[in-house]
Amino acid sequence: MRDGELKTIDLALGRILRHGQNAVFLMARNVGDKFEVDLSAWAFPILAELMGGPLRPSELARRIGTGRSTVTRHLQDMESMDLVRRVKGEVDRGGTMLALTAKGVKLAEASANERLAELGRVLAGWPDERVACLAALLGDLDYDMARGGVVPRISTETP
């Protein structure tokens, strides 16, 4: 019995990921146009993670599930657009941390608002209990996938 449910979950997650990727590409164009910047799809997870505060490049790469060289390449573009800046670490003064600029914060907030509005439209017909259940189940799935080594654990706590 569980095999059927696992296949359904696998197919649904694949579709959800593809829908999400398509939405990110559209958002990159829409939000980028509003702020007059040419954003890649990688900009959004970087912006979202940096909303929690400054991070080391290696920690940022771990959180978004990619290599440091990929993050570095996109950060260079984002620095040239005045979205992120390098700052000295608070604990280790020699360590470089990445932080959002004022323009980066505005763009991150705009993209988060757009994502949440779209998600709100999709779930508008759902009863509150089902939305709460979905949020709890997705949180559990994220945790268990990270614990099982499938994906890196992404902290939802502010550093």
Phi, psi of 149 (to 5 degrees): 85, 5
Sequence letter at residue 48: A
Provide the CATH number for the domain formed by 2-122 in this structure.
1.10.10.10
> For each of the chain's 159 residues, which pLDDT tens digit applies?
588 899 999 899 889 888 887 877 777 777 777 878 888 878 888 998 999 999 999 889 888 888 888 888 889 999 999 999 999 876 655 678 999 999 999 999 988 888 888 889 999 999 999 999 999 999 988 888 777 766 554 554 433
Do the beta carbons of residue 118 and residue 23 sit within 8 Å? yes
Q: What is the pLDDT of residue 158?
A: 38
Domain ranges of the chain: 2-122
For the four alpha carbons of 31, 36, 42 and 48, in that order, the dihedral sign comes to negative
